[in-house]
Chains A and B, each alone.
Chain A
Amino acid sequence: MKKAKRLLSVLLVLTMVVMLFAGCGTKEEETEYYSVIAKGFQHQFWQVVKKGSEQAAADLGVEIFFTGPEGESAIATQVDMINAELAKNPKAIALAALSTESVLSQLQEAADKGIPVIGFDSGVPNAPAGQISANASTDNENAAGLGAEHMYEAIKADIAAASVSSPVIVVILSQDATSASVTGRSKGFAEKMYALITADGQSAAITGDFAAITTGDVANSAVNVKIVVGATPDITDMTNAASGVLNTDNLLGVFCSNEGAVNGLLAAVNAGSTLGADVKVVGFDAGAGQKAAVRGGTFMGSITQDPFAIGYKAVELAVKAANGEAVSDVDTGAKWYDASNMDEPDIAQLLYD
């Protein structure tokens, strides 16, 4: 039996060695194969991204494999996936990285092998220059600006009626002042609102917890566009922040820059804070609570990213890059939805629960 044991050990080591060298002579087949590696699978958001990328693959006649880890903290799983995909020699890879640091070796390897990498959704932030060919993502500033335009239409008369002695306030409720998407939206909304107000000859100032874009003199302005950031992104802190916002006098409108801010506001209302009938609320993204609030009229409407376009453009860019065409970043756009259009099929598919 001891002999058998020893034999087994030798066999095991041998197999490992054989495995090591097995592939050296193997010919790797050439197909139009592309890898699309997402950040996750759980949210409907990613399901729609997948749909978009599959549509693009069908339109362009290429083969794709859409994959992603089980959740957004599963870094090891995603790294293993990228390694495995690189081993398949795809023509190009579309990637939404969970963490830039963890994929630097893989990006280098892709560059060495001449495999173009396209970022999609949040892409690969701060990747070394030249290693990401292009990005297909939502321009958060533009998207939030769309929300500002809709809100401005609804509160235009009240803004025109305001004065320095009886000022009004528009609040942007955000869950943090660090993440690129949320700060981009806060900035985009605040600046668009400021531009619209001042273009109509009214005085305005941007104030609040996001110093980088503070503008104007609030004491001598009729409109204060104020950015409020919760103590932490936790729902309890967001709820407290939202209660504070709802207690503000002369509040005309609230823009919630992501689902966390939306849920904080809805929780504050549920807990007894009064949302004035005239206060216009605009949200961002979707989710069951937000959709109900839009449908029921609590929110005048919300902005949704276009995950279908994100998936579609990602594959399109990947194919272009693989064929040696010059590619550049694409804004995949955003859509406005309210009670009147949210059940139309092309909008409804963008709204996850």
Chain B
Amino acid sequence: MLQTLKKVGMQKFLAFGALIIIYVFFAFTGKNFTSTATTLNILASSYYVGFLALGATFVIITGGIDLSLGALMMASALLGGALYRDMGFPLWLCMVIMVLFAMLVGLANGILVTKLKLPPFIATLGTMMIMLGLGSIITNTSSKYFPTILEPDGWFIRVFFKTKSGFPVGAVYLMVFFIITFIVLNKTKIGRYIFAIGNNEEAVRLSGIKVNLWKGMAYVITGLGVGLGSILYSATYIVVIPNTGNGIELQAIAAVVIGGTSLSGGVGSLTGTLIGVFIMSILKNGLISMSLPAPYQTFFTGIVVIGAVLMDVYRNKKANELKKIKA
């Protein structure tokens, strides 16, 4: 156990170091990179990925994966937009439904993986496609838009994106969600069981713990993150287009991996995930501040992901060698 703790700690320090190095690099090379405006952009463009990644950390710690994150977030936003624009639902109700819908789909993922024993990769791949299709079906393949600042419900943007004076309120919600998930993962039974399942599912089962329940819970928590993420996404970007969103899950998963959570399960950290999210966001804004076109962002994110996982693999190997020597 000490070994794993050390491992996570190490990865986090490395990730944190990388964050600082990347930030300093752009501070020197970027245009106005250290300005308040850019800093606010770094925070603002991390909102929705942050919620997705924090939620996904739970599933990934169980040794699972959720490929439906991006498509589900869009489907949930499209559903909210359709209810708001076409059915005239009040905005607050749309938001509640968006979160409940995403949690419900998370539950469905959980049932597919636990009760029906589908491999998480396949189960959530299927959900991803269903969500892409569903988003188009409920909106009749037309894009939906949330209230703009010119409409009476424009408070939505001020409350969930940034205030009129430019304060990034979304960052506050992200921190609150981080603190809550942090407590759940590190201080409660849910978290302990989720780690235990990721480490050795069979042992947990044999000790009489309801694996399906706790594992399913991880998927529901992920769904919660996605639902909240869809609200922040809608407030930030206003317009939601059907048949988009696949690819966003990979950003979220990349952030989780950069933060030191192992894709084979049992090891992980939300602090790391948050660092991962900011690394990606700094990369995104930094490369634009250097006036480099968008494809470079994807390119360099790929390099960071590979670098992060390489370090992880290398340290795992070292740790295993140490164990062998000791044994």
Q: Point out residues on A near B: beta carbons under 8 Å.
A: 1, 4-5, 8-9, 11-13, 15-16, 19-24, 26, 28-29, 33, 41, 65, 67-70, 73-77, 79-81, 83-89, 98-99, 101-102, 104-105, 108, 128
Contact = CB atoms under 8 A, between A and B. Distances in A.
A11 B12 CA distance: 12
Nearest to A71: B244
B42 interface: yes
Nearest to A79: B237
B36 interface: yes
B145 A102 contact: yes
B39 A23 contact: yes
Given A1-B6, A26-B34, A87-B37, A101 B271 contact: no
A281 to B, nearest CB: 31
B203 interface: no
A187 B36 CA distance: 48
Contacts of A29: 31-32
B271 A80 contact: no
Nearest to B171: A16
Contact of A128 (B13, B35, B150, B289): B150
Interface string B248-291: 00000000000000000000000100110010000011001101
21 contacts: A9-B271, A12-B275, A21-B36, A22-B39, A23-B35, A23-B37, A26-B34, A33-B31, A67-B294, A80-B41, A81-B294, A83-B41, A87-B37, A87-B285, A88-B289, A89-B37, A98-B239, A102-B237, A104-B238, A105-B238, A128-B150
A80 B45 contact: yes
Contacts of B34: 22-23, 26
Interface residues of B, number: 53
B136 interface: no
Contacts of A81: 288, 294
A140 B238 CA distance: 29
Nearest to A67: B293
B241 interface: yes
A83 B166 CA distance: 12
B288 A23 contact: no
Given A11-B16, A20-B40, A102-B237, 18 more contacts: A1-B9, A5-B271, A12-B275, A19-B43, A22-B34, A23-B38, A33-B31, A65-B291, A67-B291, A68-B294, A77-B294, A79-B237, A80-B45, A84-B38, A87-B40, A99-B238, A99-B239, A108-B149
Contacts of B45: 80, 83
B58 interface: no
B52 interface: no
A41 B239 contact: no
B31 A8 contact: no
B233 interface: yes
B41 A84 contact: yes
Contact of A104 (B37, B148, B284, B293): B148
A99 B13 contact: no
B20 interface: yes
B143 A99 contact: yes
Nearest to A77: B294
A26 B39 CA distance: 12
A86 B40 CA distance: 11
A13 to B, nearest CB: 8
Given A1-B2, A102-B145, A75 B239 contact: yes
A301 to B, nearest CB: 35
A70 B284 contact: no
Return the 8 tightest CB-CB contacts between A and B, nearest first. A87-B37, A23-B36, A23-B35, A84-B288, A102-B239, A65-B291, A101-B145, A87-B38
B32 A104 contact: no
A70 B288 contact: no
Contacts of B275: 12
Nearest to B284: A80
Nearest to A87: B37
B5 interface: yes
A9 B271 CA distance: 7
Interface string B110-152: 0000000000000000000000000000000001010011100
Interface string B288-327: 1101011100000000000000000000000000000000
A69 B243 CA distance: 17
Contact of A84 (B36, B150, B289): B289
Contacts of A21: 36
B157 to A, nearest CB: 6
Contacts of A69: 294
B153 to A, nearest CB: 13
